[in-house]
Amino acid sequence: MKLLEAISTYAGKYFAILVILTALIAYLIPSPFLGFGSYITILLGIVMFGMGLTLKATDFKMVITHPVPVIIGLFAQFAIMPLAAFGVAYLLQLPPALAAGLVLLGSVPGGTASNVMVYLAKGNVPLSITMTSCSTLLAPIMTPFLLLVFAGQWMPVDAVAMFMSIIQVIIIPIILGLVVSKLMPKTVEKSLNIIPLISVLAIMIIISAIVAGNRENIASAGLLIFLAVFLHNAFGLFFGYLAARFLKLSVQDRRAISIEVGMQNSGLGVSLAKAHFADPMTALPSAFGAVWHNISGPIIASYWASRPDNEEETTNLPTNAQSATIRK
């Protein structure tokens, strides 16, 4: 078990590098990874099950005790990102499949790795965890609705079918994780340190399958996809911070909201694209997002961590540090 915990810690620490290497290997040698495509939904369900195992009632405490930052953050999450995706798609004149895929990336909830990035950035970790949890639970309603509104002009969207998919892939695994955690707390407690390893492996396999299966599309449109994902992520980070600053939230809250808004659940985007769109290129923005978000996240976290904080912290960060690390 100690060996697995050490490997899990290593995998979490070098997650971005591992994802990049996986994507490069899958691109250069695609054949070993092509068979993984049929397991994407199952793998994402495993990641969400792990999230359910780590969820606690305290993760939702801020909704009651400090609702304003949570509400602002969630509004920014589901307003800034789909609007930014829509704007970037028009700005770059993306093909319909890529445009719909970028809007899909902008309509999914926040990614779980954002909690670790907020901790490293010396942001408000409890707010980050609460936003991730709440946006994930809101996803069955918000993601199909936003995709229908902003991407319906490029590709047909079956909002009801997508609602059911998110329930099956996200909500049911999380509920199962909560139930298992409640029924077997001691067993779950012993296994928490290896959950990051399982999540990292699942994301690596998902990325390898998408890259391997779209090698030709990446070769022809890779630069355009990267530029779209780069701009989308940058808009999310910038305007997420700007919105929190405009509403005079603390520095810690601004950092948390910025990172939460900018880092999406790319795995869910890949799974939904594969399940609901015939064109495989629809999954590419989310696949690229899974790589780039785990590069930009550490960069901005390192930048903020090195800057002095002139405002008093409103929350006790160390108390939630372990939870944030596990959530990765």
Residue 227: the pLDDT is 92
**Those residues with Cβ within 8 angstroms of residue 133's Cβ, 6 or more apart along the chain or in another chain:** 55, 59, 60
Quote the tokens at residue 108. 């999914």
- The more confidently predicted of residues 255 and 298 is 255
Quote the tokens at residue 179. 């139930």
Q: What is the average per-residue pLDDT within 55-67?
A: 72
pLDDT band at residue 159 under the 50/70/90 scheme: confident
Q: What is the pLDDT of residues 26-54, one digit of tens each?
A: 888 888 888 887 777 787 788 778 777 77
Quote the tokens at residue 270. 């890949």
Domain boundaries along the sequence of the chain: 2-327
Single-letter amino acid, residue 228: A
Quote the tokens at residue 218. 């990446």
Domain 2-327 listed as CATH 1.10.1200.10: no
> How far apart, in whole angstroms, are the C-alpha atoms of residue 206 and residue 212?
10
- Name 264's bridge partners: 110
Residue 5: the pLDDT is 64
> How far apart, in whole angstroms, are the C-alpha atoms of residue 258 and residue 241?
5
Asked whether the beta carbons of 21 and 205 are under 8 A apart, the reply is: no
Q: What is the pLDDT of residues 212-234, one digit of tens each?
A: 877 777 777 778 888 999 999 99
Assess whether pLDDT exceeds 60 at residue 318.
Answer: no
Residue 12: the pLDDT is 62
pLDDT band at residue 119 under the 50/70/90 scheme: confident
This prediction has a pTM of 0.79
